[in-house]
Amino acid sequence: MESTKCLIIGSGPAGFTAAIYASRANLNPILYEGQQSGGQLITTTVVENFPGYPQGVGGYDMMEDMRAQAQRFGADIRMGSITSVDFSSRPYAVTIDDGSTIQAETIIIATGASAKYLGLEDEKKYAGRGVSACATCDGFFFRKKTVAVVGGGDTACEEANYLASLCEKVYLIVRKGYLRASEIMQKRVLENPKIEVLFKHNTEGLYGEPKLQGAHLVKNLGEAGEQRYDLAIDGFFLAIGHKPNSDLFKPAVETDAEGYIKTDGPTPCTNVPGVFAAGDVADPRYRQAICAAASGCKAAMEAERFLNR
Which residues are designated catalytic? 134, 137-138
Instruction: Name the CA radius of gyration of the chain, rounded.
Output: 21
Q: Terminal CA-to-CA distance of the chain, rounded, Å? A: 25
Integer CA distances (angstroms), 250 to 122, 257, 262, in order: 33, 12, 11
Which is nearest to 273 in space by CA: 103, 94, 92?
92
What's the DSSP call for residue 165?
T
Do 59 and 41 form a contact (C-beta atoms < 8 A)?
yes
Q: How far apart are CA 246 and CA 190, in angstroms?
A: 35
The alpha carbon of residue 61 and the mean position of all alpha carbons in its chain are separated, in whole angstroms, by 18
For 60-94, b/e burial (b = at least 16 CB within 10 A) is bebbbebbeebbeeebbbeeebbeebebeeebbbb
DSSP three-state, residue 12: coil
User: Exposure of 97 by Cβ count < 10 A (0-12 exposed, 13-18 middle, 19+ buried)?
Assistant: middle
Strand-pairing partners, residue 229, are 217
DSSP 33-50: -BSSTTGGGGG-S-B-SS
What's the DSSP call for residue 119?
-
What's the DSSP call for residue 69?
H
